[in-house]
Structure 1
């Protein structure tokens, strides 16, 4: 589950009350987005046990914008989204022709499934499954063409679990796209500058100064020739 921490300058304080964002009163909010010619209706269920997984974050919007501007080709690609929250990124990938698996912890699956049903027509390949990093990634295949994540680099104790999951899921010729709000207090910069490059060739694909969001593209390092 993508659970980014508070950034009081750009994110409402009410999103981050005690207990990871649990509200006394529950409510739904439906937001509309348009990417790649697709009009998307995304429901966010605030105040439930979802906590901050309920919300569409800036990093998800930046990643969708990037896919649109760069005309990233999902057609016929095997795609998985990690820590999907609302499922926005994975839904867009499916509508763009990908064979997409959208994942998060079990508590977020009902929200994701509702958004998939609201936006994905029959025949579009989008399935929703639970995935806990470092625990059950091996029940998933290790040959995804594209691995996607938006605001999933948030807690330093999970970094080794995420790294192992990325290593397993990304196929030999696969590509990882990770969008992240660069929160210093959460070790995000350390993850991308020092940890991820140990296992993947990493490029900064886009920097959004206004949103403080970086989009990184990663591929497996080629083995050194003997």
Structure 2
């Protein structure tokens, strides 16, 4: 097998990148919505490929607490497969799903696959690239909710994420963050040091079995 593209092609594709890629389709019932989610596994997508337990926990929390989603302006960071944001959009929220550019094709495919038969209640979810600390200023600050599921695992991104969240929450948005508390990735330090530097942070749910925490945060009034 040849692993390089046509030499005359100005943008040759290395087909070896895709030789070990495979997909898996799963059905999830979340907040009364049935979602068909495709997870594309391969070296290129990495952590953006799976549906993480933290995303399912966040959906469960939003349902248990009867958090109002209909009509809300919501942005999800590090959306991955899009589970959380797609559920919110199906329940009537106006949703923007963001992730790194590499993850967007999978994200858009899942949005398209989960359009309700009667159409989106408010608007189709918007899928956009967002690199924390770099292009967040391209986004407005008039959100109602910012949703984050299992995105706290690279310490070098923690200050960039806080900077991004602070911009998105300037006008009073509430952030819900669901995280597996991985000590090896210093996840606890994000919630104990980084986020409290600019946000009021409250632990609102703890799942001991899965070692998963859900936090609610709002920008401090002096920020």
- Structure 2 residue aligned with 1:75: 70
Alignment map for 1:82-101 (pairs within 5 Å): 82-101=77-96
Alignment map for 1:1-226 (pairs within 5 Å): 25-121=20-116, 122-124=119-121, 125=123, 126-223=125-222
* CA contact 2:49–2:80 (8 Å) conserved in 1: yes
| Unmatched tracts of structure 1, length 5 or more | 1-21
* CA contact 1:153–1:159 (8 Å) conserved in 2: yes
After superposition, the CA RMSD in angstroms is: 1.6
* CA contact 2:176–2:216 (8 Å) conserved in 1: yes
**In the TM superposition, what whole-angstrom CA distance separates every residue of 1:80-115 from its partner, at most 9, and x where no partner exists?**
000011000110111121110000001100101111
| C-alpha separation in 1, matches of 2:19 and 2:151 | 25
| C-alpha separation in 1, matches of 2:87 and 2:76 | 11
| C-alpha separation in 2, matches of 1:215 and 1:113 | 26
* CA contact 1:105–1:132 (8 Å) conserved in 2: yes
| C-alpha separation in 1, matches of 2:18 and 2:200 | 41
**In the TM superposition, what whole-angstrom CA distance separates every residue of 1:123-160 from its partner, at most 9, and x where no partner exists?**
34211111111111111001211001111111111111
* CA contact 2:96–2:127 (8 Å) conserved in 1: yes
Quote the offset at 1:223 in angstroms: 3.3
* CA contact 1:81–1:102 (8 Å) conserved in 2: yes
* CA contact 1:145–1:171 (8 Å) conserved in 2: no
| C-alpha separation in 2, matches of 1:48 and 1:189 | 28
Quote the offset at 1:120 in angstroms: 2.1
| C-alpha separation in 2, matches of 1:172 and 1:220 | 9
| Unmatched tracts of structure 2, length 5 or more | 1-16
Aligned residues: 203
Quote the offset at 1:187 in angstroms: 1.0
Task: Answer with 1 or 2: which has the greater Rg.
Answer: 2
- Structure 2 residue aligned with 1:11: none
Quote the offset at 1:173 in angstroms: 2.2
